[in-house]
Amino acid sequence: MIVCDTGPLVAAALKDDKHYYSSVELFTSARLAARKLLVPITVVAEVGYLLERFAGPRTEARFIRSLAERDFIPIALDTADFERMAELIEKYADLPLGTTDASVIAVAERLDVDEVATLDRRHFTVVRPRNGAAFSLLPEVL
């Protein structure tokens, strides 16, 4: 399982994005290996907004359809996730971390996933999950 942040999902939809090819390759290889791509609902909202803004409603609809078709699996947040998100936002206030990144971390911790698809090296290299080990960030090369 891989928990997905906003960046690669947006990049994979925008051919002129500098991370387009690495993001498409990441998702293609994950699907071929039958790996589950988990998307916290906060990420769904952020990706939808950005795709509509930068690529239009058709691209946004394609992304939403990919969730319906289970190419990506939307993950709801629970009460414990919100509590953990608040803890992370307070702990890393100097970054600042933000709600969406905190939700990615909370979901990864809850589901015991150590791989995160993100282009955000600034936040995800600093934050340590509860188990203390660093996340494996994908794609490995940006």
Each residue's pLDDT tens digit, 111-139 = 999 999 999 999 999 999 998 889 999 99
**Has 101 been labeled as part of a binding site?**
yes
Rounded-to-integer distance, Cα 30 and Cα 12, Å: 13
Each residue's pLDDT tens digit, 32-80 = 999 999 999 999 999 999 999 999 999 999 999 999 999 999 999 999 9
Superfamily holding 2-138? 5'-nuclease (3.40.50.1010)
Instruction: Give the start-to-end residue ranges of the domains of the chain.
Output: 2-138
